[in-house]
Structure 1
Amino acid sequence: MPQVWSSPVRFVECDQQGVVFNAHYLTWADEASNHWWASHGLPWDVVAARVNPVVKASTLEWTSSARWGDTVTVDAETEKVGRTSLTVRFTILVDDQLCCVVRNTYVATDGGRATPWPDDIRALLTAD
């Protein structure tokens, strides 16, 4: 089930034409990720204290632009859970219009090195 986060587009997030600057889509995905983790019963501070997840890779694919005055909605869904990594898809919409899809791959780390997800965290990440 997708976890949803939304926010009005702020003036500071836009260029002079009122179009959202591309880096803010990553910020919105990051905001939504906190809700995504919590929706799995994994508040960020609890996860980070046990296994430090870091973003290994991000991809962004734009379809249309969000603009000043819009409200963006971000649907966050688990796409894949691996042994040491997981990918979350963030679908960013204005109303029903797709703006951007962000995919973040998180890697569990310990001491700066990839480590397997603990069994209890993996169980929560893969539960339907």
Structure 2
Amino acid sequence: MSSFAFPVVPRYAEIDQQGVVFFGHYLTWCDEAFTAFQSWVGYPYPDMISDGVDIQIVHAELDYGASVEWGDAVSIVVENEKVGTTSLRTRFAIQRRSSEHEAWADAVIVTLVHVCVDASSFTKTAVPGRLADALATAARV
């Protein structure tokens, strides 16, 4: 496996009055990228739910280096940073380029912490072994 990248096409409706992507949309993009990342590592979200586990975001950080504008090409590079007993910390590098002749550059770095919860009671539970193993395997490749 190589690193995972999730393509995004900024929609006109996601642009604010300053002409850039409204900050809340970055979190939506990361949520979508994480779901795709789970499938890519071999433990799709529906499988996790079937196993009785769900995840909830308990912490989010966004660090801005550049703005994303309508018409930019966007790619989100997803990397697992840490698997704890009940939580995961994931880094999302939201990269942009204005033209095909331009190099990809980090625009926004997002860090999300998810906590695993029981899918019915929503009480904290251990990270499923299948997810921890899939993330560890993806990190080694």
TM category, shorter: over 0.9
Report percent identity of matched pairs: 34
* Displacement of 1:54: 1.1
Please state whether the residue corresponding to 1:79 is helix, strand or coil.
strand
- 1:72 is matched with 74
Q: TM-score, normalised by structure 1?
A: 0.92
* Contact 2:43/2:130, CA 8 A, preserved across alignment: no
Q: 2:47 matched to 1:53?
A: no
Could you tell me which of 87, 95, 106 is aligned with 2:114? 106
Give aligned pairs, total: 128
Please state whether the residue corresponding to 2:74 is helix, strand or coil.
strand
Unaligned runs of 5+ in 1: none
Consecutive aligned runs of 4 or more in structure 1 exceeding 4 Å deviation = none
* Contact 2:76/2:95, CA 8 A, preserved across alignment: yes
Q: 115-124 vs 26-35, which deviates more?
A: 115-124
CA-atom RMSD, angstroms? 1.3
* Distance change in 2, residues 1:21/1:41 (3 Å): same
- 1:86 is matched with 88
- 1:30 is matched with 31
One-letter amino acid of the structure 1 residue matched with residue 38 of structure 2: W
CA displacement, residues 38-68 of structure 1 (integer Å, 9 cap, x when unaligned) = 1111111111232111111111111110001
* Contact 2:10/2:69, CA 8 A, preserved across alignment: yes
Q: TM-score, normalised by structure 2?
A: 0.84
